[in-house]
Amino acid sequence: MPSVFIKTFGCQMNERDSEAVAAQLVAKGYALAASEHVADVVLLNTCSVRDMAEQKALAKMTHIAGLARKSGREPILGFMGCMAQSRGKQLVEALPDVDLVLGTQKFHRAAEYLDELLAGRRDKIVDTDAEAGSQAAIREHLLTGNDKKAISAFVSIMQGCNQHCTFCIVPFTRGAERSRTIEDVVGECRELVSRGVREITLLGQIVTSYGKRDYPVKDGRSAFVQLLEAVHEIEGLERIRFTSPHPKGYGDDLVEAYRRLPKLVESAHLPVQSGSDRLLKLMHRGYTRERFLSIIEKLRQVQPGMGLSTDIIVGFPGETEADYEETVSLCREVEFDQAYLFKYSPRRDTPAAAMPDQLPEEVIEERHRKLLVIINDLAARKYEAMVGQTVQILAEGPSHRNAARYEGRTRSNKIVIFDGSERHRGQLMDLRIERAGSFTLYGDPAVVGME
Ligand code: SAH
Ligand code: F3S
């Protein structure tokens, strides 16, 4: 029985794709290897969003190939995902030890191609073609062992993005928007719930654009809100999350959904990218600072305890000190619970890479350093403010930080660590927050609520 090791770079979509590939391979009789050093097949699921992510995957593959050669092993080596898609056969040319390059519409072909490579029927396979219907092929789950995903699972609802933000490579690596049907998504969610899942996160590159071409607006409700309603009906499901939305997708129907649908937890990721209208326009984001702030305000009106996270890019071409200060002031105004800060990285084929006034590395570094301090400080205050409150958590499994303790998340998406055990897995519990650490809360076991 061949064994496979999959290493994932990048976002939750990639985590989910890797899980689906692993589950498909397990179903075909593969074993999951404990490390890349012992596996018969090593797959790197790659990210292209920033250059650094690509460099890391390339270095990792070079390292794995080198070690294998030294030890006289000849594992099958493959790249899959975004960099596989965007670099294609260049990868086998640059790294002759690589046998397989599997694009983002081909995850479901992994077993078939590996069989051919392992049997020696083919020497190298590069497949980055488009494939109709591939968005519905990411559906298998592992849900095994002590994995916390057994309680909380990701479901991919769509692939691709048509927004073409000028800095972003995703529309090239993931292709145009294609959605699964509502029935298909609900079917997968039901199956997961029947296997013990209590929380589902709906995934896509721009989930708020879900089903636009397939489902007309009904009673003022977008296709995405229609999907949320359908998933909400599933008995036994406790919580619904989604990522990544686009701020422009927060119409009143979605804002209202937070009021109407109790399973839709009060947590939202709204990638703002910049606080400067001038830059938002150059980025082709499709909203202004004012519109963004009005969405935040509406969400907070509906759910005052809304947990808000965002993505920010510093150092976009032409970003002036004044533009940067606008981003700082936006962060201070919103007080995000969590902000993911990125240094601008020029990506091939994107319009921004060809814009004038690319900023020097030192300026980007400096702004990144300064803003990181500010957003972490704002977030720390948000976490501090929760001390003394009693919050509902969904217990997911042993803590990632300390396996002797248990962890769960609040509805607003904050991790809470507490003294729990297997009997708490999957339970909704009320905990009193005793202490706040770095992006973590600690709940007191003495006041663990009902079970
Ligand atoms: N909606 C997508 C966005 C993917 S990229 C999703 O979450 O699936 C995630 C984040 O990476 C973006 O929101 C942006 O902040 C950052 N990013 C994208 N392209 C970038 C680039 N060229 N340089 C730096 N950061 C970038
Ligand atoms: Fe990228 Fe913008 Fe789409 S950030 S994934 S092009 S919404």
Q: Are 176 and 162 in contact (CB under 8 A)?
A: yes
Burial class (CB in 10 A: 0-12, 13-18, 19+), 394: buried
Query: How does DSSP assign 223-258, residue by residue?
Result: HHHHHHHHHHT-TT--EEEEE---GGG--HHHHHHH
Kindly give the distance from the C-alpha atom of residue 46 to the centroid of ligand 1, in angstroms, as a whole number: 14
Q: How far apart are CA 203 and CA 191, in angstroms?
A: 17
> Closest Cα to atom 7, ligand 2: which residue?
163
What whole-number percentage of the chain has pLDDT above 70?
97
Kindly give the distance from the C-alpha atom of residue 53 to the centroid of ligand 2, in angstroms, as a whole number: 17
Residues 6 or more apart in contact with residue 30 via CB below 8 angstroms: 1, 2, 3, 4, 41, 111, 114
Burial class (CB in 10 A: 0-12, 13-18, 19+), 37: middle
Cα(first)–Cα(last) distance of the chain, in Å? 43
Q: How far apart are CA 323 and CA 332, in angstroms?
A: 15
User: How high is the mean pLDDT of the chain?
Assistant: 95
Nearest to 208 by CA among 155, 165, 269: 269
Residue 411 tokens read as 């509805």
**Model pLDDT, residue 400:** 87
Q: Report the residue among 47, 82, 86, 168 best suited for mutation to probe ligand 2: largest number of ligand atoms under 8 A from its CB.
A: 168
For the chain, what's the residue count?
451
Residue 400 beta carbon below 6 angstroms from any ligand 2 atom: no
Among all bound ligands, the one having the nearest atom to the CA of 161 is 2
What whole-number percentage of the chain has pLDDT above 90?
94
Residue 345 beta carbon below 6 angstroms from any ligand 1 atom: yes
Q: How far apart are CA 376 and CA 163, in angstroms?
A: 29
Among all bound ligands, the one having the nearest atom to the CA of 49 is 1
Q: What is the pLDDT of residues 246-282, one digit of tens each?
A: 999 999 999 999 999 999 999 999 999 999 999 999 9
Across residues 270-299, what is the average pLDDT? 98
Q: Are 167 and 347 in contact (CB under 8 A)?
A: yes
**Which of the pair, 132 or 451, is modelled with greater confidence?**
132
Burial class (CB in 10 A: 0-12, 13-18, 19+), 357: exposed
Across residues 420-429, what is the average pLDDT? 92
Residue 247 tokens read as 């701020």
Residue 11 beta carbon below 6 angstroms from any ligand 1 atom: yes
DSSP class of residue 435 equals E
Residue 280 beta carbon below 6 angstroms from any ligand 2 atom: no
Give the pLDDT band of residue 451 (cuts 50, 70, 90). very low
Residue 171 beta carbon below 6 angstroms from any ligand 2 atom: yes
Give the pLDDT band of residue 150 (cuts 50, 70, 90). confident
Q: Report the residue among 311, 312, 355 best suited for mutation to probe ligand 1: largest number of ligand atoms under 8 A from its CB.
A: 311
Q: How far apart are CA 116 and CA 443, in angstroms?
A: 52
Q: Are 3 and 40 in contact (CB under 8 A)?
A: yes
Residue 152 beta carbon below 6 angstroms from any ligand 1 atom: no
Among all bound ligands, the one having the nearest atom to the CA of 319 is 1
Q: How far apart are CA 10 and CA 14, in angstroms?
A: 6
Cis peptide before 244 (omega within 30 of 0): yes
Q: What is the pLDDT of residues 25-79, one digit of tens each?
A: 999 999 999 999 999 999 999 999 999 999 999 999 999 999 999 999 999 999 9
pTM over 0.85: yes
Q: Are 194 and 150 in contact (CB under 8 A)?
A: no
**Model pLDDT, residue 1:** 86
Residue 204 beta carbon below 6 angstroms from any ligand 2 atom: no
**Residue 6: count of CB within 10 angstroms of its CB:** 22
Q: What is the pLDDT of residues 334-370, one digit of tens each?
A: 999 999 999 999 999 999 999 999 999 999 999 999 9
Q: Report the residue among 12, 159, 167 best suited for mutation to probe ligand 1: largest number of ligand atoms under 8 A from its CB.
A: 167
Query: How does DSSP assign 246-302, residue by residue?
Result: -GGG--HHHHHHHHH-TTB-SEEE---B-S-HHHHHHTT-S--HHHHHHHHHHHHHH
**Model pLDDT, residue 445:** 65
> Closest Cα to atom 15, ligand 1: which residue?
311
Residue 170 beta carbon below 6 angstroms from any ligand 1 atom: yes
